Homo-oligomer: A and B are copies of this chain.
Amino acid sequence: MKTLYKTFAAIVLITFSVYDAKKEEAPEKKKLSSEIQSRKSYWPNGAQLVISVSMQFETGGQPEGAESPFSGNPLPKGNPDMPAESWFRYGAKEGVYRMLDLWKKHNIYVTSHVVGEAAIKYPEVARAIANGGHEIAAHGIAWKDQWNLSYKDELNFIKKGIDTVEAITGKRGRGYNANWLRRGPNTLKVLQELDFLYHIDDLSRDEPFITKVRGKNFVVMPYTLRNNDIVNIEGKHWSPNQHLAQLKMEFDQLYKEGATKRRMMSISMHDRIGGTPAVVNAVDQFIQYAKKHKGVVFMRKDEIANMVKNDPNTPEDNSEFKFNN
């Protein structure tokens, strides 16, 4: 529909013909839009709000000049940026372990998006995550762009990642997160071919939905840049009490909405950022706050995806139809 609409809009602009509402087809086809549908849908397990945490393990895979407090002032290519490298190492030396202690303290299981090269460099960290009962999800073999790869190269890039991480942890990723969320037009088809269950690189909803890929159901788990420590990647202008306020105010609204529709809250933490003491402190306080509310459940994304994949109440959204058909 989208394509048809775009063209139509174009004609409108050129000819200045009057827009004809009768020509609309999409609205009928959109019966499953969140507006109508999601108000009817609830969580199978009767939860009022499902919260899922993403814990990115990427450290060690970063290329020269990757985003950090130092990337605003980079060294000439080829010069080792020693403090920047040590800033990244924090994720493997302190960050992930601190977060694992937090999940254990609260008996929560999270989804960890693991970059292949990070697991190669710090296998003990990847295993500690897997041994903690957390989901090992995929994040590519390397920390690099994939939106510009051919179908074949992108498939190799992703397959190499899950093969490598499985060899190290014994777990095969079935959920995907692209570098900076930057997937390409072929990504969902590639993921389907590799038997993936879901991806998270979509910011359009506060609940999981189905999108058709080559006609079959593929799950899109909601992700967000809001409850995400990445907003503080430069390490300034975002104090931990602001982060706590963001989490609580977001929670309060979604929990309220959860009484009448299916709602999911996504939280994201990166090894070297979310794993710092003050952020873990903030998230610890948030979890204690959330747990005081009835019907709040923390789940891994693979569990959620399996739960909603064939649930008729799950909204379907084919906004990217032109890429996925």
What is the count of identical protomers in the complex? 4
Minimum CB–CB distance from A112 to chain B (whole Å) comes to 16
A203 adjacent to chain B (CB < 8 Å): yes
| A62 proximal to B (CB < 8 A) | no
A124 in contact with B35 (CB, 8 Å) = yes
**Is A319 close to B, CB under 8 A?**
yes
CB atoms of A231 and B225 under 8 A apart = no
B317 near A93 (CB under 8 angstroms)? yes
Q: Is the CB of B237 within 8 A of A19?
A: no
Please name all residues of chain B whose beta carbon is closer than 8 Å to the beta carbon of A206 when the two chains form the complex: 94, 277
The docked-state distance in angstroms from the alpha carbon of A182 to that of B87 is 12
Is A249 within 8 A of B241, CB to CB? yes
Q: How large is the interface on A (under 10, 10 to 19, 20 to 34, 35 or more residues)?
A: 35 or more
With contacts A86-B203, A182-B81 taken as known, whether A236 is within 8 angstroms of B239 at the C-beta atoms is no
State whether A168 touches B21 (Cβ < 8 A).
yes
CA distance A58 to B89 in the complex (A): 28
Report A89 CB to chain B, min CB distance, Å.
4
Check A73–B180 contact: CB distance below 8 A: yes
Complex CA–CA separation, A83 to B225 (angstroms): 11
Q: Is the CB of A254 within 8 A of B277?
A: yes
Question: Shortest beta-carbon distance, A11 to chain B, in Å?
Answer: 11
Tell which of A26-34, A190-198, A300-308 binds the partner. Answer: A26-34
Any B CB within 8 A of the CB of A289: no
Partner of A249, one of B26, B117, B159, B240: B240
A197 → chain B, closest Cβ, in Å?
19
Contacts of A242 in B (CB 8 A): 239, 241-242
Quick check: A253 and B238 within 8 Å, CB to CB?
A: no
Please tell me if the beta carbons of B238 and A250 are within 8 angstroms of each other in the complex. no
Contacts of A141 in B (CB 8 A): 12-13
Q: Pick from A2-10, A40-48, A291-299 the stretch touching chain B.
A: A2-10
Q: How far is the CA of A198 from the CA of B83 in the complex (A)?
A: 15
Q: Which residues does chain B contribute within 8 Å of A246, judged by CB atoms? A: 239-240, 278
A168 touches B19 (CB 8 A): yes
Q: Could you tell me if A204 and B82 are in contact, using CB atoms closer than 8 angstroms?
A: no
Bound state CA distance, A45 and B93, in angstroms? 24
The distance from the CB of A318 to the nearest CB of chain B, in whole angstroms, is 12
Decide yes or no whether A286 CB sits under 8 A from chain B: no
Verify A83–B281 contact, CB threshold 8 A: no
- A19 contacts which of B164, B225, B239 (Cβ < 8 Å)? B164
**Distance to closest chain B CB from A172 (angstroms):** 13
> Can you add 13 more A-B contacts, CB < 8 Å, to A83-B180, A87-B204, A253-B277?
A2-B121, A13-B141, A13-B160, A33-B93, A75-B147, A83-B202, A90-B205, A239-B246, A240-B250, A246-B278, A249-B277, A252-B281, A257-B277
Closest 5 pairs (CB-CB, A-B): A253-B277, A83-B181, A231-B236, A239-B242, A89-B204
